[in-house]
Chains A and B, each alone.
Chain A
Amino acid sequence: MDIKDIIKPENLVYQKTPLMTDKPLSYCPGCGHGTAHRILMEVIEEMGIQSETIGVAPVGCSVLAYDFMNVDMVGASHGRAPAVATGIKRCWPEKFVYTYQGDGDLAAIGTAETIHACNRGENITIIFINNGIYGMTGGQMAPTTLKGMKTSTSPYGRDIETMGNPLKMTELVAQLPGTCYVTRQSVHSPRNVRRAKKAIRTAFESQKGKKGTSLVEIVSNCNSGWKLEPVAANDWMVENMFPFFPLGDIKVDGKLVNNQ
C-alpha cells in the first residue's frame, strides 16, 4: 500500500491547521509553546479571522512565533508587546490583535505595559505562557518562579526574603475594571488542551464584542529550564505549579469568579 492510498480525505481524522506554517518548531521536544501556538491558530482559523488578525511576538523562547503562526505579525522588544498591540489596535480598531508573551516578558520587564494595557481595557487578547522560568536565556529565575525553586540565578532555590515572592499577574490584572475575561489554563493533557482552546476562543469572542482586555494564562512546562524530561516536567508542573497557580476562570464577562 502506498502512503497516498492511506492519506485520503475520507480517512482524515486530524489535520494541522494551515494557520501553522510548515516550518519545524524550534522549541524543545515536549515544550508547551508548540501546543499553545497550535490551539491559538486553530481558534483563528475556526473563527475565520486570519485576514483580520495581527499578532505580536515577544522576546523569549517564542520570539520566533511569527515563523510558525501564519498570520501578519510583528516582533516587539522585551516586555513591550501590550504597548505595541495598543498602537496597532488604536489605529485599526476593527482588527483582531493579540500578544503572545512569556512570564519574564509579561510579568517582569513588561509589568507596566501589561497592567496599563489591561487598565485601559485595550480591546486585545493576551496569551500568557507561564513556565516559571526564563527559558530563552537559559533557565534564570522568573517573576513566577516558585518559592524554593532552583534556577540558574537561584541555584539554592528561590529565597523569598531576598528574591521576593512569585507574582500572580493574572489574579492582579483580573482586579482591573479594564479586563473582561481572565483565565488560567494548561496544555499538558488532551482535556486541558481542549479547555485552553475554548478559553482562547472565549477571549477572541470577547475581543470581537469589544468587551475589553482578555488574558489567557497557560501554565506551561520548560523541561530544559527545569532540567526534567518532558513527562517528568509535566508531573512536576501538576504537583508544584498548579497548587500555586490554580487552573480555571478568574474573571468572566467582567465579573470575578468565586470571590477571587
Chain B
Amino acid sequence: MKELKLMKGNEAAAEGAIRAGADGYFGYPITPQSEVMEYLMAEQPEKRTGMVVLQAESELAAINMVYGAASTGKKAMTSSSSPGISLMQEGISYLAGAELPCLILNVVRGGPGLGTIQPSQADYFQSTKGGGHGDYRLIVLAPSSVQEMFDFAFLGFDLAFKYRNPVLMLSDGLIGQMMEKVELREQLPRTTYFDRSWTLTGKPDGQERNIVTSLDLDASRQEVHNQHLQEKYRKCQANEVRYELLNTEDAEYLFVAYGSSARICQKAIQLGREEGIKIGLLRPITLWPYPAKPLAELAPGMKGILSVEQSAGQMVEDVRLSVGCGVHIEHFGRMGGMIPTPEEVLENLKKLLITK
C-alpha cells in the first residue's frame, strides 16, 4: 500500500534523508529552511535508524562536520539557505577536491547580502559555475515539487557516492515552504560496508592506512588530480543529464524553467494554450550537468524561447550557450523574493517573443 503524507518541502527533504539511510545531518538555522533540522530533531532519527543530528555553531562548522563524516564513508547531509551556503563555499571546495560524497540542500532566498527571506533562484551561478575556489563541479539537482524534495535525497546520495562528489539540491523558499502530497518510499538500511579503498575507518592491521585530503603541493601531481576530476565531470555530463518535457510536441514557443518557476510556467502554458498560443516547457532537473543537448535539439522548431527564473537572468546564459544563434531567446524574471504570476509570465512571453 502506498504511504502518502501531506508535507512541507523542507520536511520532505528531511524525511527523505532519513529514509535514504543518511548517517548524519549537521546544520545551522536559517529561514526559509529551518524546518529541515526542526523536523529531524523532532523525529529523532537516532531512534529510528541511528542517524545522528547535530546543530552546529555555524555553517562553517556544519559543512566541515559533513566533511569529517563523509571522509569516513558515512552518508552526511547539511542544509541551509543562501547566506549560509555562501559561508560553506570553502568547505564545499574541499569536499570536491578530496572527492567526498555528501548532500547539500540550498533552499534559496533573495539576495544579495542578507537580502530577504522570500524565494529566489539567484544562486544559480554559485551552484553551477563553482561557488568556491578551484576547478570543480557539483552535481546540481533542482526539485520542483515536494515529492522531488523527498525523492532527490535518495537520488542525491546515489549520485554523490557513484561519483564521490558533493551533490547540491538547489531548491527555493517556495518549494521548501509549500505543502503537497508525498508518496513516501520504504526505509533504506544505513550502510555498514565501507569501501576501504578511500574511507577512513581506522587503519586495519596489515593494511595500508588511508588519507583524505585535497592538498598536493607538487604542481604536476595536482594537475593530474585536476585532470582526473575533469574526466569524472565529463562522465557525469555523459550519463547524468536529467530533464522533463511538457507539451513540447506541437509547441511553437518554449519555456525553459526549473524549480518553482517551472511550476509557474506549467500554469502559464495552460493559460497560453487557452488563447491558442502553443507553448511547451523544458524543465532541467539537473542544472549541472545541464540538459544542453535536448534543448539544442528542441530549439530549431521554436519561434522563441523564454527562460523564466527568479533572478536577473542567470540560467539564460546556459540556454544561450546550449542553443547558439538563430533562435530568439529572452529572459523573464522577478528578483529579490518576488514571485511572478502565471499571467505575468504569459504576458512577458507575448511581449518579448510575439509582439516584440
Q: Which residues of A contact B (CB under 8 A)?
A: 50-54, 56-57, 63-64, 66, 70-77, 80, 83-88, 90-92, 95-96, 112-113, 116
Enumerate B65-87 residues with CB–CB distance to A below 8 Å: 65-72, 74, 76
The total number of A-B Cβ pairs within 8 Å is 127
A110 to chain B, nearest CB (A): 9
Q: Which of B56-64, B105-113, B250-258, B261-269 contacts A (4 or more CB under 8 A)?
A: B56-64
B14 CB contacts on chain A under 8 angstroms? none
A64 CB contacts on chain B under 8 angstroms? 215
Contact A50 B213 (CB under 8 A): no
Contact B72 A92 (CB under 8 A): yes
Contact A92 B201 (CB under 8 A): yes
Q: Given A84-B65, A86-B54, A74 and B71 touching (CB < 8 A)? A: yes
Contact A95 B202 (CB under 8 A): yes
A52 CB contacts on chain B under 8 angstroms? 202
Contact B57 A112 (CB under 8 A): yes
* Distance, CA A50 to CA B74, complexed state (A): 20
B213 CB contacts on chain A under 8 angstroms? 57, 66, 74-75
B91 CB contacts on chain A under 8 angstroms? 77, 80
Contact B66 A53 (CB under 8 A): no
B50 to chain A, nearest CB (A): 10
B279 at the interface (CB under 8 A from A): no
Contact A73 B209 (CB under 8 A): yes
Contacts A66-B213, A77-B94, A80-B61 aside, 15 further interface pairs with beta carbons under 8 A come to A70-B203, A71-B202, A71-B203, A72-B200, A74-B211, A75-B214, A76-B67, A77-B64, A83-B67, A87-B26, A87-B65, A90-B69, A91-B24, A95-B201, A113-B60
Contact A72 B203 (CB under 8 A): yes
Contact A83 B68 (CB under 8 A): yes
* Distance, CA A54 to CA B212, complexed state (A): 11
B210 at the interface (CB under 8 A from A): yes
Shortest Cβ distance from A53 into B: residue? B202
B297 at the interface (CB under 8 A from A): no
Contact A86 B205 (CB under 8 A): no
B257 to chain A, nearest CB (A): 36
Contact A83 B72 (CB under 8 A): no
Shortest Cβ distance from A63 into B: residue? B215
Shortest Cβ distance from A95 into B: residue? B202
Contact B65 A54 (CB under 8 A): no
Q: List 27 A-B contacts (CB under 8 A).
A: A51-B203, A54-B200, A54-B201, A56-B68, A66-B213, A72-B200, A72-B211, A73-B212, A75-B98, A75-B212, A76-B64, A83-B56, A84-B68, A85-B68, A86-B54, A87-B24, A87-B64, A87-B71, A88-B71, A90-B54, A91-B69, A92-B201, A95-B201, A112-B57, A112-B58, A112-B61, A116-B56
Contact B202 A73 (CB under 8 A): no
Question: Size of chain B's interface in residues, with CB distance under 8 A?
Answer: 39
* Distance, CA A85 to CA B54, complexed state (A): 13
* Distance, CA A101 to CA B145, complexed state (A): 44
Q: Given A74-B211, A75-B214, A112-B58, A50 and B64 touching (CB < 8 A)? A: no
Contact A88 B72 (CB under 8 A): yes
B61 to chain A, nearest CB (A): 4
A91 CB contacts on chain B under 8 angstroms? 23-24, 52, 68-69, 72, 74, 76
* Distance, CA A70 to CA B68, complexed state (A): 18
Q: CB within 8 A of B66: which of A57, A77, A87?
A: A87
Contact B60 A73 (CB under 8 A): no
Shortest Cβ distance from B207 into A: residue? A51
* Distance, CA A206 to CA B210, complexed state (A): 26
* Distance, CA A134 to CA B336, complexed state (A): 42
Per-residue 0/1 for B197-230: is the Cβ within 8 Å of any A Cβ (1 yes, 0 no)? 0001111110001111111000000000000000
Shortest Cβ distance from A86 into B: residue? B65
* Distance, CA A67 to CA B56, complexed state (A): 30
B66 CB contacts on chain A under 8 angstroms? 87
A57 CB contacts on chain B under 8 angstroms? 213
Shortest Cβ distance from A94 into B: residue? B202
A136 to chain B, nearest CB (A): 12
Contact A84 B64 (CB under 8 A): yes
Q: CB within 8 A of A83: which of B61, B98, B200, B202?
A: B61
Q: Given A70-B203, A74-B213, A75-B212, A80 and B60 touching (CB < 8 A)? A: yes
* Distance, CA A83 to CA B24, complexed state (A): 13
B64 to chain A, nearest CB (A): 4
* Distance, CA A203 to CA B214, complexed state (A): 29
6 pairs of A and B residues whose beta carbons are closest in the complex: A87-B68, A87-B65, A75-B213, A84-B68, A83-B64, A80-B64
* Distance, CA A53 to CA B54, complexed state (A): 22
Q: CB within 8 A of A116: which of B57, B71, B214?
A: B57
Contact A113 B26 (CB under 8 A): no
B90 at the interface (CB under 8 A from A): yes
* Residue among A74, A87, A88 with max Cβ neighbours from chain B (10 Å): A87
Enumerate B255-286 residues with CB–CB distance to A below 8 Å: none
B98 CB contacts on chain A under 8 angstroms? 74-75
B53 to chain A, nearest CB (A): 9
* Distance, CA A112 to CA B58, complexed state (A): 9
Contact A90 B215 (CB under 8 A): no
* Distance, CA A76 to CA B91, complexed state (A): 9
* Distance, CA A87 to CA B54, complexed state (A): 9
